[in-house]
Amino acid sequence: MRDSAAFVPELDFVGEVDGEIIANIMCAKSKIARPDGDKLAILTFGPVSVKPEWHGRRFGAEIIRHSLDCARDLDYGAVIIVGHPQYYPRFGFKPANGYGLTMPDGGTFAAFMALELKRGYLGAAGGKWHADKVFEINITAFSEWNKVFQARRK
């Protein structure tokens, strides 16, 4: 992900406790294609993770809020994610279809959410969200990587 032109190095954070990395969040630029052909620059975060033994102690909330605050300081106007619909509303995320936004195929679902960092940034024109290709997962490569990861955790 860090080799991608869409990656935002200023928004690449880890959380540490006593020198141990227990959380991370990364961001990439993405865009909305308006029906009239215009493009609107936005941000997408992910992966965001907290080590399982540290779950439920607000480290996730803290690193997400920090990332969103920094994104606002860097002048990004909005963030669009696909994530747990029970978790992200606490940060202000709302269903993206409320802004007239859809996936590239025109579909929408509860996990597809948007947050305006600048009020009114998403406007009313709607459009299709295009995540950067860095978020496309090669399932075969992922499965191979995951085997290594599982082995290391034992």
Ligand X SMILES: CC(C)(COP(=O)(O)OP(=O)(O)OC[C@H]1O[C@@H](n2cnc3c(N)ncnc32)[C@H](O)[C@@H]1OP(=O)(O)O)[C@@H](O)C(=O)NCCC(=O)NCCS
87 part of the interface to ligand X, by CB under 6 A: yes
78 part of the interface to ligand X, by CB under 6 A: no
58 part of the interface to ligand X, by CB under 6 A: yes
The dihedral built from the CA positions of residue 111, 82, 85 and 142, taken in this order, carries a sign that is positive
Residues 37-56 that bind ligand X (CB under 6 A): 48-50, 55-56
Those residues whose C-beta lies under 8 Å from the C-beta of residue 111, and which sit 6 or more positions away, are 82, 83, 84, 85
91 part of the interface to ligand X, by CB under 6 A: no
Tell the smallest beta-carbon distance from residue 133 to ligand X (Å): 19
Among 53, 86, 120, 148, the residue binding ligand X under the rule CB under 6 A is 86
Give the separation between CA 6 and CA 135, rounded to whole angstroms: 10
Give the separation between CA 129 and CA 103, rounded to whole angstroms: 5
Those residues whose C-beta lies under 8 Å from the C-beta of residue 31, and which sit 6 or more positions away, are 39, 40, 41, 42, 129, 130
65 part of the interface to ligand X, by CB under 6 A: no
Nearest position to ligand X, beta carbon: 60
Among 7, 13, 59, 91, the residue binding ligand X under the rule CB under 6 A is 59
Among 39, 65, 72, 84, the residue binding ligand X under the rule CB under 6 A is 84
Other Cβ atoms closer than 10 A to 43:
24
**Interaction site with ligand X (CB under 6 A):** 48-50, 55-61, 83-84, 86-87
